[in-house]
Structure 1
């Protein structure tokens, strides 16, 4: 099933009254009722519009839509894996900085862990209230990680999880930086120079890379900090 929303209506929403462009949302779910229901809900949110929906990632990407956020069901009937789907969505939307959120019932922790390690921006339960879903989508577009209790529990149960062994100072720097502070703000709070903070961040990235938990961007660092309970 594939459905694309009227682009002219989206453009009109973004121009009307000088408002900013709507957040373009994509949905991947193989239950038609879920797609229809979530599309109706999201399209009632001010500043948001579902611009594409499909039962598979392949079908979604076959359309011409550009997405700010894609809500991805982790267990699809086509047999695809969360890792493959996340990588395809992020690669295809790299120029547009598409962010992927696991949209799930949460009953399969293994799938949640696989999605986390593939680089999703967090997890939303399908049973959440419309208001929580709206706030989660907005937060995702700001580069925040949606770290729910289900998300944290799934990661804590990962027996293959490897500790990066950060020092106390590195943990403090990461906690502040991942919480949204700039390098300058972290430096001021810790009474050190900005260059010292940047040196710490380089070492932190190196420690995570050494254990296979790469963190090249600030979003990745936020995810690593959330996984380690620092934010």
Structure 2
């Protein structure tokens, strides 16, 4: 069973998820919050004996746009820093905001009109260390035309996104349905394009940093 938390200021959605997940044997809802501040707030002090430490959710379902005006990419970074992986969910499919969230470390994106079974599969993929792909995420990456980002073909973007998210080269190739040699070829092309843009990226950490820089330049 995978422990999850949900950050969303739509109370009806939270109540609906809570009711639906109560009958699930694959996911366990351990926390809900309307903001990341609320989710990450330390537990209130109580007299001894001290309470057991709160569990950290393996995956946090994070709404793309919250009512407190916080930036999606900042929310993603804070949740990741707290030890959880992030699946962004939203009714808003703004390509720039979606790409910024993924570049900041989100492990996938789904719009809220997907079936709940699709949500479960996405959470399981993210919890296992993968990236939850969706048509909306692919659309956002293809439409990303930020001037500071080198122009990358859709397959280059896919390989870059998976590899920079933490997958091995072999896992990246398997997810893309290509050989390891081909995946390496795509990554070499991506690195060359960054070098041509005057922003060298030689390692996986470099690539993740370049994505973060592209996010900060928006």
Tell me the TM-score normalised to structure 2 length: 0.67
Q: How far apart in 2 are the matches of 1:61 and 1:53?
A: 11
Q: 1:59 to 1:213 in 2, by over 3 A?
A: farther
2:122 counterpart of 1:143? no
Instruction: Output aligned runs, 1:89-168, within 5 Å.
Output: 89-93=79-83, 98-160=84-146, 161-163=149-151
Q: Does 1:87 align with 2:115?
A: no
For the 8 Å contact 2:7–2:60, the answer to whether it is kept is: yes
1:142 and 1:213 mapped to 2: Cα distance? Answer: 30
Tell me, which stretches of 5 or more residues in structure 1 are unaligned?
1-21, 191-196, 224-231
Which segments of structure 1 move beyond 6 Å, counting only runs of 4 or more? 211-215
Q: Is the 8 A contact 1:30 1:77 kept in 2?
A: yes
CA distance in 2, matches of 1:130, 1:204: 38
- Quote the Cα distance in structure 2 between the aligned partners of 1:213 and 1:118: 19
The equivalent residue for 2:166 is none
Q: Deviations over 1:161-189 (max 9, x none)?
A: 42469xx9xx8xx78540448xxx947xx
Query: Which residue of structure 2 aligns with residue 178 of structure 1?
Result: 172
Q: Which residue of the partner structure matches residue 9 of structure 2?
A: 30
CA RMSD of aligned residues (A): 3.4
CA change 1:162–1:206 in 2 (3 A) is closer
Q: How many equivalent residue pairs?
A: 176
Contact 1:42 1:134 in 2 (8 A): no
Structure 2: runs of 5+ lacking an equivalent:
44-53, 164-168, 212-218
User: Aligned in 2, Cα 1:139/1:121: closer, same or farther, shift over 3 Å?
Assistant: same
CA distance change for structure 1 residues 72 and 207 in 2, over 3 Å: closer, same or farther? farther
Residue 109 of structure 1, CA deviation: 2.2
Rounded to whole Å, the distance in 1 between the matches of 2:33 and 2:200 is 31
Residue 158 of structure 1, CA deviation: 1.1
- Seen in structure 2, the aligned counterparts of structure 1 residues 35 and 108 have a Cα distance that, compared at 3 Å, is same
* 1:54-98 per-position Cα deviation (integer Å, ceiling 9, x unaligned): 0000100115330110010011110000110001001111xxxx2
1:67 corresponding residue in structure 2:
57
- 1:146: Cα distance to partner? 1.3
Q: 1:41 Cα deviation (Å)? A: 2.0
